[in-house]
Amino acid sequence: MQKIISKLIWLIIVTIVGLGIQRYSGIFYQDEVLRVDEVQLTDGYQTISGQLVQTDQSKELTLPYYESEATVPVFNRGDQLILKNDAFHEVKRDGYLFIIISYFVLALLFIGKRDGVRSLISLAINVGLLFLLTAAYVVNSQLPLLGLTFVYCMLATTASLVVSDGWRSNTLQKIAATLLTSFSAFLICYVAMNLMQDRGVRYEEMQFLTRPYRPIFLASLLIGTLGAVMDTVVTVLSTLEELLDKTANLTMKELFLSGRAVGQDIAGSMVNVLLFAYLSGAVPMILLYLMNGWNFLSAVNMQISLELLRALCGGFGIVLSIPISLLVFRLARGRKA
């Protein structure tokens, strides 16, 4: 009971601190922060009246209003807007962001305990590696982005598995199986795209980029495939290790059948999760196109091709992860049925 109460207290403290940050941190901003007092909608515009939190001076701002709220949302009393050069820049949400991140961290610590701490460390390492990769490419666009991504995948996989699980007897197996599966699935998709000359692939959603679209998409495809594969590989290999520890007299054939059964059970659900995760990202833009007069097929074709490719490549990885995990386990054990 005391543990539950202490956890609730932490959640309350985080919520209060986050709301305090949201309400009062605007005074520390270099840019002007406008607290909205009143909003009037007239003829495609919204007239916003409020006070600058740094100086308490009244200010009025006129912004366009679109029913779809595609570029500028409709603001409400109490919202805080960050201004640059007297123009709207973005909505201030630092307090709410603090609450969400804190809830996530607390959930990992409360539920995972030591494993939760390791997961946070692993996440921080992976984010840092990805930042370094991105920074290196931004500074020098002549660097091969796909090559950098391959290096990142190897480092991120090693860091994730070693930090999360520690160095165990099957850690090297997990790393090898994850990388081999990810690279194999990516290679299949890469060859298919080249043979089809990217027909049906629409890069319009990446048109804001100032670098070539294809290498950037391929890099994201590889990273997404890695994320899909790792969970399946770890599940299959960990299950086989547990079975071997509990029942040492199992033959390799029996282990194979058990590993295949586990893989089959999780593969279907993982592919569906992957599909939903990727397609959900396209829903807002599809709705935006539909609300602006596009027909359904054109809107879907414009927005869903890249998401389908990511889902297909990840699906290949999940399916391939089962036989490759079993193969790596067999080679590592060197046992005969």
- Tell whether the model's pLDDT for residue 284 goes beyond 80: no
Per-residue pLDDT, 334? 64
Alpha-carbon distance of 44 to 68, in angstroms, equals: 12
Q: How many CB atoms lie within 10 A of CB 322?
A: 23
Name, of 61-75, 84-98, 299-313, the range with top average pLDDT. Answer: 84-98
Exposure string for 13-27, b = 16+ CB within 10 A, e = fewer: ebeeebeebbeebbe
> For residue 162, what are the contacts with CB-CB under 8 A and spacing of at least 6?
171
Q: Where are the beta strands (DSSP E) in the chain?
A: 32-42, 45-52, 58-64, 80-84, 87-91
- Tell whether the model's pLDDT for residue 336 goes beyond 60: no
- The predicted model gives 198-212 an average pLDDT of 72
> For residue 243, what are the contacts with CB-CB under 8 A and spacing of at least 6?
250, 255, 258
**pLDDT one-digit tens code per residue, 232-249:** 888 888 887 777 777 767
Per-residue pLDDT, 69? 67
pTM for this model (two decimals): 0.73
**φ/ψ of residue 193, rounded to 5:** -65, -40
- The predicted model gives 257-263 an average pLDDT of 75
- Residue corresponding to tokens 């995948």: 153
- Residue corresponding to tokens 């080679």: 331
- Tell whether the model's pLDDT for residue 271 goes beyond 50: yes
Per-residue pLDDT, 216? 84
**pLDDT one-digit tens code per residue, 213-232:** 788 888 888 888 888 788 88
- Tell whether the model's pLDDT for residue 335 goes beyond 60: no
**pLDDT one-digit tens code per residue, 82-122:** 888 888 888 899 999 999 999 998 888 888 777 778 888 88
Per-residue pLDDT, 248? 64
- Tell whether the model's pLDDT for residue 337 goes beyond 60: no
- The predicted model gives 62-86 an average pLDDT of 80
Per-residue pLDDT, 18? 93
Residue type, 221: L
